[in-house]
Chains A and B, each alone.
Chain A
Amino acid sequence: MSIASTSVIQIIPRTRRGVELFLLLIAVGVSVAAYVNIGITAEEGVPASTGLYAAGIGLLALIAHLALRFRAPYADPVILPCAVLLNGLGVAMIHRIDLGLTAIGRTKGVPFAPQQITWTAVGVVGFLAVIIVIRDHRRLQAFTYTLGLAGLVLLVLPLVPGIGANVNGAPIWIRVAGMSFQPGEFAKVCLVIFFAGYLVVKRDVLTLAGRRFLGLDLPRARDLGPILIAWLVSLGVLVFESDLGSSLLFFGLFLFLLYVSTERAGWLIIGGVLFAGGAYFAYATFGHVHRRVTDWLDPWAIDGGQVKLGLMGQAWGGILGRGLGQGHPEATLYANSDMIISSMAEELGLTGLIAIILIYTLIIERGLRTALGCRDIFGKLIATGLAMSFALQVFVIVGGVTGLIPLTGLATPFMALGGTSLVANWAIIALLLRISDQARRPQTPAAPVSDETIAMAVQKQ
C-alpha cells in the first residue's frame, strides 16, 4: 500500500477480479438477507419471491462482473460491489415500504419494488453499454461541446411545455410515452464530461495568476467568464426549476473541477462567494427556497412535514434501529424516494446509517483514487467530477434528510426509488470503472500476468 500511496504510477498490475467477485457475493448475500429478514418480520415468513429476488440481483451483479472481467479487467474491484450492495438494500427497503404502505391502505402505485428491479436491470444494461461501447474514455474528449450542449438541453427539457411535469413542487421531470424521467441526472454526467474537456484545454489560461489578495492568487478578471456562466446556469436551474439540489450540484462540480485543473484555491473562494450570494438571493426572493430554510430551522412547526416525520423515524431508530420490517418508515412521506435514508436509519439505526454512509464514502474515495491514478488529465477530471458528484449528492440529500442542511430534492444514489437516477448512477460507475481500468492497466501492453507470477515477483524482492 505504501508504494501505491507515494507513487501512483507504480501500481502492481493485478486485476483483482477475484476480490471483486468475493465482495459481490457479500453484497448480494447481505441484500438477500435483508429481503428475507423483511419477509420474516413484516410478512408471513421467508417470502416466496426470495429466490427470484436473489437470482435477479445475483444475475445482474454477475453480468456486470463478467463485463468487467472481459472488457475492463483492471477496473477497481471495490466500486461495483458497493453499488450492488446499495442497490440491493434500496430495493429491499422499497419492498419493505411497499408492505408498510399496503398495511396502512396507501396503495397508490404499490408495489414499487418490481419497478425498481426493472430499472436496476436497465441500469446494468446501461452499465454494459458504457463498458463495451466506450473502450477508451479519452475518445469522449472529442464530444466535449456536443455533450455540453446535450447537458444544457437536458437541463432545460423539463421547462419545455408539453413534456415538462411538475412533481412534488419541482418541475424537474419530463413525461415521455407515459413515463417520467429526471433528465437532470443525465445532465450531470454530460456536464462533468463537458467541464473536463473544456478545462483540459483552458486550464493553462485559467491558471494564470491575477491579483494577489490576502495571500491568495486570484484569477484575472477577464478569465471569470466561464465561472460566471456556470453560476448563472445553476441559478437559472434554481429559479426556473425550483431545484436547489441540482443547482448546488452543477455549480459545485464546476468549481471542484476548476480547482483541480488549475490548483488555484482562489477559484474556490470566488465560487464560494458567488454561491453564497446566489443562495441568499434565492432565499430572500423565492418562497419555496425560503420555506425550505424555515423548515430546516424549525422542522417541528409543520404538522406532518416530511422532515419532521423523517426525524421522528430516525430518533425512533436510535442507535441499533427498530430492525428491518419492525419500524414504521411508511409513516414518513416519500419514505421510499427522498426520505429513504430516513427509512434506513429508522430500521437499521445509527449503526446501519453510518455503514451506508461509509459505503458511499468508499465509492467516493475509490473514485478519487482512480482520478489520482489516471494518467491523462481528461480522465482525472472526469473521475474527480463523478466521484465528487457522489459526494455532493450524498451530502446534500442525507444532510437534508437528517436535518443538517435544508432539504433539497436530490435522489439518494442507488437507493431511492426512481429509474432515471438509478440508470444514471450505473452509467457513472461504469465510466469510473472504465477510467480505473485505464489507470490500473500496465502501461505497456504486456501479456496478462497471472497472480502466480506476481507472487513470485514479490517473493524475489
Chain B
Amino acid sequence: MNSAIRRLAVAAIILMLALMANSTYLQAFRANEINGRNDNNRVRDSQFSVNRGPILIGSTPVAQSKPSNDRFKYQRTYPSGPVYAPVTGFYSYRFGRGGIELTMNSELNGSDPSMAFRRIIDVISNRPQQGGSVTLTLNAAAQQAAYKGLGSKTGAVVAIEPKTGKILAMATTPSYDPNRLASHDSAKVDAAWKSLTEDKDRPLSNRAAQELYPPGSTFKLVTAAAALSSGKYTPETKVNSPAELVLPQTTVPLVNEDGKNCGGSNNATLTVALRYSCNTAYGSVGLALGPDALREQAAKFGFGARPLAELPSVATSQFPGDPNEPQTAQSAIGQFDVRATPLQMAMVAAGIANKGEVMKPYLVQNVKTPDLKTVSETKPESLHQAVTPQVASQLTAMMVDVVNNGTGKPGQISGVQVAGKTGTAQTAKDRPPFAWFTAFAPADDPKIAVAVLIEKADIARDDIAGGKLAAPIAKSVMEAVLGQ
C-alpha cells in the first residue's frame, strides 16, 4: 500500500511542477508578448501611472508629466500645445498616441531595453519606474516664428540645418491642442477626438511630413540640378522659352504664369528662366533630359524613400513612374503626378545649401535616463551626394538671383544673402493653387534651409504666388535662427 502512496506522492509533485513550469513559461517568457497586446488595459493604465519622461527643446519641456490626483498619478501636459503638436503628437488613454509620443514611447516610459539596467535598479530599490527624456532638434524661436507666420492660413513649414539634417522647425496649421486628448476626463476627450477627426481641415494631420502636394515651380530646382549635372548645361545655357511651348502628342500648350515669354526673351538662360520661374524653359529642359534623368536626380534628393523614421506615417515623395512626353514636361515644373512633402522640399534646399550633400533629417537629438545619463545621441548622417559641389554653387547663385532680382524678392533679409525659389502649383481650376517657397541663408554659409507651403489662405486668388504668401514666412523663420 505504501508503495502506491509513494507513487501518488511523486505524481502530486509532478502535477505541482507542471503548474510551476507553465507559470514560468507564462510569466517569464511570454510576459512581454502579452504586455504588448493592444487590449491590455493593465499595461496602458500603468503606463499612465508612470512618471513619463519629458520631450524637451534644449531644457524646456514641450511635453511633460505632472503629478495628478485623479484616476492616474500623472497628467501629460503640453505647455505650448498646438505649436509643437505635429512633432510631439499626443498621449491619450482612449485614442492611443501620435508623433514622438508614439515612436519614442518605450524610451519615454522607461521600458526600453536601453534602460533595462536602470529599471532593474528601480525594481530592486523599489522606486517607481520613471521614463527617460527625449530632446528634440527643434529650435524654439524658429518653431514659434513658423507657427506664428502660418497664422490662420492652412499650410506647413519645415526648417532644416543643412550641415547636419537637424530639423529646426516643423509646423502645421490648423493644429490642435494635444492637452485636449491627454485629459483624464474621458467625455471631454471623446468630444475633442470627434471634433478633430470630423474637421475637414484635418488638424490632426501633420502637413509638413504626412501630406503630399504638387511642388510646382520649387521642383525646377531639381530639374535645374539634373540639367547642370548632365554636363550639357551651364547656368548661362540658353534654352527654348517661348510664351507657349507646344508639347508633342497634345494640343494643349505649356504656358508661363504671366502668359508672356521668359523675361522678354524666347531663349532665356537657365538663370533667367529660374529668376522668372518660366514653365516653358524648364518644360523644354525636362523634355530634353527625359524622365529617367529627372527621376534619378529627384531620388538623390530623397524622393521615393520614406524620410524621418522618428515620426509615424511620414509620406514618401514621388516622381511619376513612366510619364509620356507632355507629362514629362509637366513633371519637370512640378506638376502632373509629382508629389512632395514640405519636408522633402526643405531637404532639396538643404542639399543644395550643403554643397550638394543631403543629410538625413532627424528630430531626436538625444535620449537620456531620468538621472541624465545619455542613452543615445543622434549623429548627423549623409543620405546622398545629390549634386557635385560645383553644381551646388551654380544652383545657389541661381537661387540668390531669384531672391535678389526675381520672384523671391519678398524673401530678402537685410544684411543676409538669401537663396530661394518660389512655387505656385495649380491643381484644379476651382481650388486655389498651392503657394511654395523654399530657401536657405546665408547663401555663402547656410545655417538654415526652409520650405513653406500654403495650402489655403483667405485672400484673393491673384495674390497667391509663392513669393507673396510663403516667402515672408520663410523669411521670419530664417531670421529667427540667424538672429540668435
Spell out A's residues near B (CB within 8 Å): 8, 256, 259-261, 263, 300, 303, 311-320, 322-323, 327-328, 331, 345, 349-350, 353-354, 357-358, 360-361, 364-365, 368-369, 371-372, 377, 380, 384, 387-388, 391-392, 394-395, 398-399, 402-404
Contact = CB atoms under 8 A, between A and B. Distances in A.
A365 B3 CA distance: 14
Contact of B13 (A365, A388, A392, A398): A365
B1 A318 contact: no
For the complex of A and B, the 8 pairs showing the least CB-CB separation, nearest first, are A315-B34, A391-B12, A350-B27, A315-B31, A404-B22, A395-B15, A368-B9, A260-B4
B126 interface: yes
A357 B19 CA distance: 8
A219 to B, nearest CB: 15
B12 A317 contact: no
A256 to B, nearest CB: 6
B16 A361 contact: yes
B125 to A, nearest CB: 12
A320 B12 contact: no
Nearest to B126: A323
B41 A354 contact: no
B111 to A, nearest CB: 12
Contact of B40 (A312, A345, A350): A312
Nearest to A41: B126
B427 interface: no
Contact of A402 (B2, B22, B35, B41): B22
B42 A398 contact: no
Q: Output the residue of B1, B6, B30, B34 with the most chain A CB within 10 A.
A: B1
B42 A256 contact: no
B152 interface: no
Contacts of B4: 259-260, 263
Nearest to B13: A361
A320 B123 contact: yes
Contacts of A259: 4, 8
B197 interface: no
Nearest to B34: A315
B5 A384 contact: yes
Contacts of B5: 260, 368, 371-372, 380, 384
Contact of B18 (A319, A403, A404): A404
B460 interface: no
B23 interface: yes
Nearest to B3: A263
Contacts of B46: 316, 322, 328
B23 A345 contact: yes
Contact of B31 (A260, A316, A327, A391): A316
B45 interface: yes
Contacts of A322: 46
Q: Output the residue of B3, B22, B45, B126 with the most chain A CB within 10 A.
A: B22
B26 interface: yes
A314 B16 contact: no
Q: Output the residue of A316, A328, A395 with the most chain B CB within 10 A.
A: A316
B19 A364 contact: no
B16 A8 contact: no
Contacts of A395: 15-16, 18-19
Given A318-B28, A354-B23, A360-B16, A313 B8 contact: no
20 contacts: A260-B1, A263-B3, A312-B41, A314-B27, A315-B26, A316-B42, A318-B28, A350-B24, A350-B28, A354-B20, A365-B13, A368-B5, A368-B8, A368-B12, A372-B2, A391-B16, A395-B15, A395-B19, A399-B22, A404-B18
B37 interface: yes
A106 to B, nearest CB: 14
A331 B123 CA distance: 23
Interface string B86-127: 000000000000000000000000000000000000010010
B6 A345 contact: no
B430 interface: no
Contacts of A311: 26, 34
Contacts of A261: 1
A340 to B, nearest CB: 14
B31 to A, nearest CB: 4
B43 interface: yes
B199 interface: no
Contacts of B28: 318-319, 350
A312 B40 CA distance: 7
A261 B12 CA distance: 18
B39 interface: yes
Nearest to A315: B34
Given A312-B42, A350-B23, A402-B23, A318 B8 contact: no
Given A263-B3, A364-B9, 12 more contacts: A312-B40, A316-B31, A318-B28, A345-B27, A353-B23, A353-B27, A357-B16, A361-B13, A372-B5, A388-B8, A394-B16, A399-B19
Given A260-B1, A402-B19, A387 B37 contact: no
A422 B126 CA distance: 34
A368 B31 CA distance: 35
B126 A313 contact: no
A263 B22 contact: no
Interface string B422-449: 0000000000000000000000000000
A388 B23 contact: no
